[in-house]
Amino acid sequence: DIQMTQSPSSLSASVGDRVTITCRASQSISTSLNWYQQRPGKAPRLLIYAASSLQSGVPSRFSGSGSGTDFTLTISSLQPEDFATYFCQQAYITRWAFGQGTKVEIK
């Protein structure tokens, strides 16, 4: 199975900051990588699919990049509603796997 590793596990940032989260796959997954946001007590929400495609309705301050084994989620200017946990997910092989999550907290 493919393992997904995110870094950092948590970070503190201020409103307006640029935030970058990294996700690494244990083997190449081409661009079959999705990003989700989860607020406390809520279901996950799709942000980015196919590594860099923005899901409809998601603000343009979110962007994704990468291919192969290394991927990045960037929030260009952090907003109050962005304080949440972010998960990457590989969709390259059938048994999908998530990263362990990155919690974005208020500094």
Partner 1 sequence: EVQLVESGGGLVQPGGSLKLSCAASGFTFSDHIMDWVRQAPGKGLEWIGRGRNKAKSYTTEYAASVRGRFTISRDDSKSSLYLQMNSLKVEDTAVYYCSRLYESSGYYYSDSWGQGTLVTVSA
Interface contacts to partner 1, rule CB under 8 A: 1, 31-32, 34, 36, 38, 42-46, 49-50, 53, 55, 87, 89, 91, 94-101
Query: How near is the Cβ of 102 to partner 1 at its closest, in Å?
Result: 10
* Selection from 61, 70, 107 nearest residue 88 by Cα: 70
Alpha-carbon distance of 85 to 6, in angstroms, equals 11
What type of residue sits at position 97?
A: A
Query: How near is the Cβ of 42 to partner 1 at its closest, in Å?
Result: 8
Q: What is 9-24 written as a DSSP string?
A: SEEEE-TT--EEEEEE
Query: How near is the Cβ of 38 to partner 1 at its closest, in Å?
Result: 8
Q: Which is nearer to partner 1, 61 or 103 (CB)?
A: 103
